[in-house]
Amino acid sequence: MIGIFDSGVGGLSLLNAVQRVYPFEDCIYISDNKYAPFGEKEINFILERCRKHVDFLIEQGASIIIIACNTATTIAINSLRKEFDLPFIGIEPAIKPAITISTSSKIGVIATRATLSSSFYNTTKCKYANNDSVVEIIGEGFVEAVESGIIHSKSFQEHLRKTILFFKRHEVRFVVLGCTHYFFLKDEFERIAGGDMIFIEPTEAIIKRLKAIYGENHISTSKQSKTSIYCSGAGDAVLRILKGQKFRLLQLDY
């Protein structure tokens, strides 16, 4: 069984990618949407929530866990790897591939406040880039907009346009989406940018890492795979995003 958790519905894009590669494997997903976004929470609170999620996923039978949250990865993955004896796959802003393919001296990064201030993120940035070559902006309200389904509202569309204009003023062409919730905004970003920017997210790299750890040909013993999704808050956003798909929607009780 593959376990995945996020602060909300952002990681559902990764769940779909995992299921395309392992269609016969059971998956369990946690949307901790009662406490979203993680990017505005205290570090100790995020660490405690991550530990609880890992304990729960292990109890359910997960043999590998994907942390589908940039903030949780940057803050908690090192501690979780020390505390729990199973493989973890985390997500971090795709600075390395962005720098590799960029044809200019700058790349852009949109992420939460917690991710941009974390030592994990800044170590990665220093390894592959420098402060002058990375233009950063906090995705204020982006997580909330995806969770509530208002990304097409007039006010939020204007917010997205201002974000694009910010990067254009800095002559940025390659922009890293540093939060899984932002993956659901990629089409909107591309439409507003009008072909002037390329938006990078790490789904392909995550799947490649999953195959390396979990095995190219791993097949569940279950005759029919099951997908269980637990929410700490309301399940409306999950139902909206996964409309037409088969899954069990359950309430998280911690």
Interval 128-154: pLDDT, tens: 887 778 999 999 999 999 999 999 999
Orientation of helix 70-83 relative to helix 119-128, angle to 10°: 100
Position 216 scores a pLDDT of 65
Which residue out of 27, 50, 69, 231 is catalytically annotated?
Answer: 69
| Range of lowest pLDDT (83-92, 121-130, 200-209) | 121-130
**Same domain for 78 and 128?**
no
Q: Which domain-ending residue is among 201, 217, 233?
A: 201
- Omega before 37 cis (within 30°)? yes
Position 99 scores a pLDDT of 78
d(CA 94, CA 109): 9
With 70 as the cut, is the pLDDT of residue 222 above it? no
Which amino acid is it at 182? Answer: Y
Q: Range of 71's domain?
A: 2-91+204-251
d(CA 189, CA 210): 28
**Same domain for 148 and 172?**
yes
**Same domain for 115 and 156?**
yes
Which residue out of 27, 50, 126, 179 is catalytically annotated?
Answer: 179
**Same domain for 87 and 208?**
yes
Q: Note the pLDDT tens digit of each residue in 9-48.
A: 999 999 999 999 998 899 999 999 999 889 888 999 999 9
Q: Which domain-ending residue is among 201, 223, 243?
A: 201
Q: Which residues pair with 249 in a beta bridge?
A: 229
d(CA 94, CA 124): 9
Q: Note the pLDDT tens digit of each residue in 180-217.
A: 999 999 999 999 999 889 999 989 889 999 999 887 66
d(CA 74, CA 133): 21
126 among known catalytic residues: no
**Same domain for 84 and 6?**
yes
CATH no. for residue 29? 3.40.50.1860
**Sequence-distant (≥ 6) Cβ neighbours of residue 149 within 8 angstroms:** 237, 240
**Same domain for 10 and 41?**
yes
Q: What domain count does the chain have?
A: 2
